[in-house]
Structure 1
Amino acid sequence: MRIMGRRRALVGVLAGSLLLAGCNAGPGQVGAAVIVDGKTVSVDRVQQLIDKAVREHPYGQQLASEHKLDLVGREIVRQEVLHDLTERAARREGVQVDESLVVNALQNDPLAKPMEANPQNDPAISVQQLVARVRDHRESLVDAAVQTQLAMKYLDKLTVTFDFSSISSTDATGSDADKLREQAIEKAKRFAASPTAAAEVIEQDKTAPGTKVDVGLKLPAIQSPGIASTVLFGIQPNTVTAFQPSPEQPVWVIAVVRERAADKPVATDQATQPSAQQLAGVGIRLLQPYLDQVDLKVNPRYGVWDVVGMDLAPNESSKKGIVLPVHGAAPQNP
Structure 2
Amino acid sequence: MRTVQRRFTLIGAAVALLVAGCGSGPAQVGSAAIVGDTALPLETVQQRLDVVLKKEPEARKMHDQRKLDTVARQLVTLGVQHQLIEQAAAREGVTVSEEEVAESVEQAGGADLASQNTVYDAETFRERARDQLLLVELARKYVDRMEVTFDYFFAEDNKDAVAKAKQVAADPRKMAEFVSAAPRSEQGQSLGKRGQVVRSAESPQSVQSPLFGVAPGTVVAFPPDPGSAQWIVAYVTDRKTDVRSSGESSTEQLTPQLLEQIGLRLVHALAGNPEIRVNPRYGVWDSTAISLAPSEGELSGYQATARQTDS
TM range (shorter): 0.7 to 0.9
Does the 8 A contact of 1:24 with 1:300 survive in 2? no
- Residue matched to 2:129: 141
Determine the structure 2 residue equivalent to 1:153. 141
TM-aligned CA distance change 1:215 to 1:134, over 3 Å = farther
- Is 1:283 equivalent to 2:263 in the alignment? yes
Q: Please, which of 54, 61, 64 is the counterpart of residue 62 of structure 2?
A: 64
- Aligned alpha-carbon RMSD (Å): 3.2
Residue 84 of structure 1, CA deviation: 1.4
1:99 Cα deviation from its structure 2 partner: 2.9
Q: Deviations over 1:122-144 (max 9, x none)?
A: xxxxxxxx235476233212111
Identity %: 33
Bigger mean CA offset, 294-303 vs 130-139:
130-139
Deviations 1:9-53 (A, max 9, x none): xxxxxxxxxxxxxx9725844432122344333333212212212
| Residue identity opposite 2:49 in structure 1 | I
Aligned length: 284
Aligned positions of 1:9-158 closer than 5 A? 25=24, 28-57=27-56, 64=62, 67-106=66-105, 110-113=110-113, 130-133=118-121, 136-158=124-146
Letter in 1 for 2:235: V
Paired with 1:246 and 1:63, the residues of 2 have a C-alpha distance of 34
Q: Following the alignment from structure 2 to structure 1, what is the Cα–Cα distance between the partners of residues 32 and 198?
A: 38
1:233 aligns with 2:231: no
Q: Does the C-alpha gap of structure 1 residues 146 and 28 become closer, same or farther in structure 2, counting only changes over 3 Å?
A: same
SS in 1 for 2:113: coil
Distance (whole Å) between structure 1 residues aligned to residue 249 and residue 179 of structure 2? 27
Could you tell me how far apart the structure 2 residues matched to 1:190 and 1:267 are?
A: 40
**Matched residue, 1:299:** 279
Match among 207, 217, 221 for residue 242 of structure 1: 221
Unaligned runs of 5+ in 1: 1-22, 118-129, 169-179
| Corresponding residue for residue 19 of structure 1 | none
Q: Closer, same or farther in 2 for the Cα pair 1:250/1:47, shift >3 Å?
A: same
Once residues 146 and 26 of structure 2 are traced to their aligned partners in structure 1, the CA distance between those partners, rounded to angstroms, is 41
Contact kept in structure 1, 2:31 and 2:39, CA below 8 Å: yes
TM-score, structure 1 length as denominator?
0.74
Instruction: Please say if 1:253 is aligned against 2:219.
Output: no
Counterpart of 1:212 in structure 2 is: 191
Q: CA deviation at 1:262?
A: 1.2
Unmatched tracts of structure 2, length 5 or more: 1-21
Residue 158 of structure 2: which of 173, 178, 181 is its match? 181
Report the 3-state secondary structure (helix = DSSP H, G, I; strand = E; otherwise coil) of the residue aligned with 1:300: coil
8 Å contact from structure 2 (residues 146, 199) kept in 1: yes
| Equivalent residue letter for 2:146 | L
Amino acid corresponding to residue 64 of structure 1 in structure 2: M
Q: Are the equivalent residues in 1 in contact too, given 2:268–2:274 (CA < 8 A)?
A: no
TM-score of the pair, normalised by structure 2: 0.79
Match of residue 175 from structure 2: 198
SS at the partner of 2:285?
strand
Decide whether the 8 Å contact of 1:238 with 1:329 is kept in 2.
Answer: no
2:293 matched to 1:328? Answer: no
* 1:299 to partner: Cα distance: 0.9
